[in-house]
Amino acid sequence: MTGLPLAGLRVLSMAEQYPGPLATMILSDMGADVIQIERPGSGDPSRYLVGFFEAINRGKRSVALDIRQSADHARVLELVAEADVFLEGFRPGKLAKQGMGYADLSALNPRLIYCSITGYGQTGPYRDRPAHDLSFQGVGGALAERLDGSVTGLPSSLLLGDNASGLYAVIGILAALRGRDATGRGTQIDVALSDSVTSLLTAFVGMEGRAGDPPPQAEPGYDIFLCADGLPITLSIAHEDAYWDRLCADLRLDDLVGMKRPARTAQRAGLKARIAAAIATRTRAAWEPVMEEAGQMWGPVNRLSDLPDDPHLQARGLLSRITRADGGDQWVVRQPVLFSAWARPDLTRAPALNEHPDARWEETE
């Protein structure tokens, strides 16, 4: 096979900032032709974040259009008429007021898959409420562990709602394409950031308030530890007694071999302190062969700047260097899904604003 699995797919997007561009980047990496409609003059609001915009908008084309202007509105409809997928991230009902809601565009193109990504979805009492990721995590249940004081401070900078909704948008689009193959008709996809956060908690929602296995974080061997040279490593021993015994043997904590999980979690603080003291006796380079020979659950803690030098990521070919439209260069993360039938494509940079004012859909085979 040649090309890429989504070659010939035409994607038109008016979704800005993070979730929508992440979704269209994934589709583009898989071969889709993506045209991004941006605001004239300023473009996507995330363009001021140098590096961020380029990272998730590579491989696309940019057309600056104002749908409030009749000529630009007609231009968008011209592109919609031959598109397979349309993405938008406006508040519910806003595009419908411009004659570009799902009912309007599906009448023009019945095969169109119309994906709406919003904070709280198209329905429900929160649908018109503005928010950023922290609020979606709160509503979605991801901050529950902070309610009892066991975890404090803000969550990780990994934005769960933004990332999860972008991924669910891709899943929904691919499923809708499969459905269109069977029915000949498109559909509207309603993706909410708050719903996406809750969906990540699927395995845990039913356990709330019930006696059951404590989470991995209750284990003394599930944490970050500092080596003698100050470099951190993770140990991720959860419920497996065999890995606990192996770790204790490696650390020469022989009196702890054979300790079962209930006892370990009950004495977490003291046991963690003993593990930390043992890890601190050697450098990370000295621990690596010990951990590898034992088949231990461990790993280095990388800064983002360390990622290009990690030998495993290098072997996976996960990162690539690109030159931006402004002449600077940066690392970007490649599509992590690998196919045996299609090779990874060469990556191209994100477009300058309105770089492709006369963009038309590429001819398909």
**In three state form, how does the secondary structure of 42-56 look?**
CCCHHHHCCCHHHHH
pLDDT greater than 90 at residue 19: yes
Where exactly does CATH 3.40.50.10540 map onto the chain? 10-203+317-333
Cα–Cα distance between 282 and 314 in angstroms, integer? 26
Pick 10-203+317-333's CATH classification: 3.90.1720.10, 3.30.360.30, 3.40.50.10540, 3.20.20.10. Answer: 3.40.50.10540
CB 15 within 8 A of CB 117: yes
Tokens found for residue 8: 């010939």
Cα–Cα distance between 18 and 57 in angstroms, integer? 10
Question: What is the model's pLDDT at position 335?
Answer: 83
DSSP 8-state symbol, 15: -
What residues are paired with 116 via a beta bridge?
Answer: 88, 190
Question: With respect to CATH, is domain 216-307 assigned 3.30.70.1520?
Answer: no
Band (340; pLDDT cuts 50, 70, 90): confident
Question: What is the model's pLDDT at position 215?
Answer: 74
Kindly report, residue by residue over 156-203, the tens digit of the pLDDT.
Answer: 888 999 999 999 999 999 999 999 999 999 999 999 999 999 999 988
Cα–Cα distance between 178 and 184 in angstroms, integer? 10
Q: Which residues contact 14 (CB under 8 A, 6 or more apart)?
A: 20, 37, 67, 76, 86, 87, 88, 89, 90, 95
Residue 80: how many CA atoms within 13 Å on its side-chain side? 30
Sign (positive/negative) of CA torsion 30, 31, 32, 36?
positive
* Higher per-residue confidence, 258 vs 154: 258
Burial of 225 (0-12, 13-18, 19+ CB in 10 A): buried
* Helix or strand (DSSP H, E) at 300: strand 298-300
Kindly report, residue by residue over 244-303, the tens digit of the pLDDT.
Answer: 999 999 999 999 999 999 999 999 999 999 999 999 999 999 999 999 998 999 999 999
Mean pLDDT of 29-43: 96
pTM attached to this predicted model: 0.90
Cα–Cα distance between 186 and 178 in angstroms, integer? 10
Cα–Cα distance between 202 and 2 in angstroms, integer? 38
Where exactly does CATH 3.30.1540.10 map onto the chain? 216-307
Q: Which residues contact 260 (CB under 8 A, 6 or more apart)?
A: 241
pLDDT greater than 80 at residue 152: no
pLDDT greater than 90 at residue 147: no
Cα–Cα distance between 170 and 163 in angstroms, integer? 11
